[in-house]
Structure 1
Amino acid sequence: MTKQNLYIIKNLVTAIAVTLFFSCKNDFDEVQKVGILQNQPIAEAENINLKYTEFKEDTVHLKANLLSENMLDYSNRGFPFSEFPKGIELKIYDDDGNQTTILSDYAIVYDETDMIDLRGNVRIVTQENDTLFTEQLYYNQKLEWAFTEQYFVFKRTVGDTYGIGFDSDKTFKEIQILEMGGDFELDN
């Protein structure tokens, strides 16, 4: 009987091992697919015309208008962001309805830090037609502050300024320049 019990146990262990061996499959392909999905945008939008309004004193005021051909939403990432691979045109309006236009070939908006990274042919045109040109510009939405460490040209009616490194508030009233050149006029 012991031989028979040993034979049964041996067959039972073999059957379980064979079942486990054939029931397991290589999930490496599935693991790779999960990694791809995490690197893909959670959403994609085309031909965006987003208007941000503010309700004040029984009237709706247009504060900003974002235009873009394409937006990729990566809010599924650990550090969420939105990417605009074909660039943006952003029109910002002050309380008097004056418009400032921001253009770039590429942009990324980081949700957690409220930072916008504008790249490629960045242009900012104010109501007074003052225009800033640079290849990369960061904008801190909380502080309403723009800055770059790149070469820039700032064309104004009082003269052009060019240099490397530019910091400014959103109105271009408080400007700091790292290295300056060109013609400029200083107010007392």
Structure 2
Amino acid sequence: MKITYRNSFTGIVTILFVTMLFSCEGNLKGVRQMEMPEDAPQAIGQGINLKYTDSGRVVATLKSEKMKDYSNKNFPYREFPEGLMVEFYDEERKKNTVTANYGVIYNETGLIDLQGNVVVITSDSTELTADQLYWDQTNNWVFTDHPNTIKFKNGARNKGQGFDSNQEFTNFRSRSNVGVQILEEETP
């Protein structure tokens, strides 16, 4: 068989085409990241009204005017720059409410950072106000190092500079505080 210039050229073009075909990967995520500015969120939601359910029962609702989803970052998070309101319901349908001017939920750690006029009202009317509050969802623990005020259902008040508590406020540790405590005596 005689090899001609045309056969050589066709063979080279075919090899180049096949090489290019197999060297292309379908990396849609990489292409999308090239299109987005580095600090841009993956998605922006307006008028958010989320309902979280467990076995068909609503356990929480989250409302916010705006949510920015940064799930595309190395340390993913969701930001609520215009504030949020969350309502939690226990098995007996008792409601606890949390409001704040700003919030961030860190996906990997389960930590929620609430800032600006943070108000927590529990189902038994305990009210906590603070400038900033952290909630560790994994350990069901609430804490802050900022000034805070707690008004308990029995009329007791506590002003402090930081505290740690379980999310039901039944195991409460306050630091550097002033308050009025109401103690009930047990009769034998």
Report the TM-score when normalising by structure 2.
0.77
8 Å Cα contact 1:47/1:70 also seen in 2: yes
Code of the aligned partner of 2:106: Y
Over 3 Å counting, the alpha-carbon distance change for 1:36 and 1:61 in structure 2 is closer
Stretch deviating more after TM superposition (157-166 or 84-93): 157-166
Residue equivalent to 2:14: none
| Residue 87, structure 1, aligned to residue 89, structure 2 | no
In the alignment, the residues of structure 1 paired with residue 157 and residue 145 of structure 2 have an alpha-carbon distance, to the nearest angstrom, of: 18
Code of the aligned partner of 1:94: D
TM-superposed deviation, 1:34:
4.8
In the alignment, the residues of structure 2 paired with residue 36 and residue 62 of structure 1 have an alpha-carbon distance, to the nearest angstrom, of: 36
8 Å Cα contact 1:38/1:77 also seen in 2: no
Identity of paired residues, percent?
36
| Residue 121, structure 1, aligned to residue 117, structure 2 | yes
Greater fraction of residues in strand: 1
Rg comparison, structure with higher value = 1
In the alignment, the residues of structure 1 paired with residue 135 and residue 160 of structure 2 have an alpha-carbon distance, to the nearest angstrom, of: 19
| Residue 39, structure 1, aligned to residue 39, structure 2 | yes
3-state SS of the aligned residue for 1:37? coil
3-state SS of the aligned residue for 1:77? coil
8 Å Cα contact 1:38/1:76 also seen in 2: no
Residue equivalent to 2:175: 178
Report the TM-score when normalising by structure 1.
0.77
Q: 1:23-57 deviations in whole A, cap 9, x for unaligned?
A: xxxxxxxxxx95962210000001111000111xx
Residue equivalent to 1:136: 132
In the alignment, the residues of structure 2 paired with residue 89 and residue 44 of structure 1 have an alpha-carbon distance, to the nearest angstrom, of: 18
8 Å Cα contact 1:104/1:119 also seen in 2: yes
Code of the aligned partner of 1:67: K
Code of the aligned partner of 1:62: V
Runs of 4+ in 1 over 2 A off after TM superposition: 33-36, 185-188
In the alignment, the residues of structure 2 paired with residue 34 and residue 52 of structure 1 have an alpha-carbon distance, to the nearest angstrom, of: 33
Code of the aligned partner of 1:43: A
3-state SS of the aligned residue for 2:44? strand
3-state SS of the aligned residue for 2:37? helix
In the alignment, the residues of structure 2 paired with residue 158 and residue 96 of structure 1 have an alpha-carbon distance, to the nearest angstrom, of: 24
8 Å Cα contact 1:136/1:148 also seen in 2: yes
How many equivalent residue pairs? 152
Q: Unaligned regions of 5+ residues in structure 2, if any?
A: 1-32
In the alignment, the residues of structure 1 paired with residue 143 and residue 113 of structure 2 have an alpha-carbon distance, to the nearest angstrom, of: 10
Q: 1:127-170 deviations in whole A, cap 9, x for unaligned?
A: 11110000000000000100000000001233211111111111
3-state SS of the aligned residue for 1:69? strand
TM-superposed deviation, 1:179:
1.1
